[in-house]
Amino acid sequence: MVPKSKITFFERFEVDILSGKKTLTIRNEEEKDYQPNTQVNVYTYEQERWFCRLIILRVEPILFENLTIEHARQENMTLAELKTIIQEIYPGINQLYVIYYELVTP
């Protein structure tokens, strides 16, 4: 596995990431290969605009049905919102990965 050095987020998540309200992201198999204790550059998905760096803390597998209120809290969402969004982004995918991160401050 070659660890990724870049991650993209939808623009609508940018404010929450920069304010420290969103401290994890849930991804599928193809997007899970991040190395703990390394920094990654963060870009918007829509425009590929760089907006910050994150340090990857850990990556944990999770099944869709095991998502909890605590995951949702760390996404700054309700659990219902989180499940709806994940189903929209990754329809029909049960095996997911939680990527925990911290904002790198300059």
Show contacts of 9-12: CB within 8 Å, 24+ apart.
Answer: 9/42, 9/43, 9/44, 9/45, 10/44, 10/45, 10/46, 11/44, 11/45, 11/46, 11/47
Is 98 an interacting residue with respect to ligand LG35MI24 (CB under 6 A)?
no
Among 55, 57, 59, 89, interactor with ligand LG35MI24 by CB under 6 A: 89
Mask of contacts with ligand LG35MI24, 56-75, x by CB under 6 A? --------------------
Catalytic residues: 22, 25, 75
Is 23 an interacting residue with respect to ligand LG35MI24 (CB under 6 A)?
no
Is 25 an interacting residue with respect to ligand LG35MI24 (CB under 6 A)?
yes
Region near ligand LG35MI24 per CB under 6 A, out of 24-32, 33-41, 48-56, 66-74: 24-32
Show contacts of 85-93: CB within 8 Å, 24+ apart.
Answer: 86/26, 90/28, 93/28, 93/64
Q: Are strands 95-103 and 24-27 parallel, antiparallel or unpaired?
A: antiparallel
Q: Where do contacts with ligand LG35MI24 occur on this chain (CB under 6 A)?
A: 8-10, 13, 25-27, 45, 89
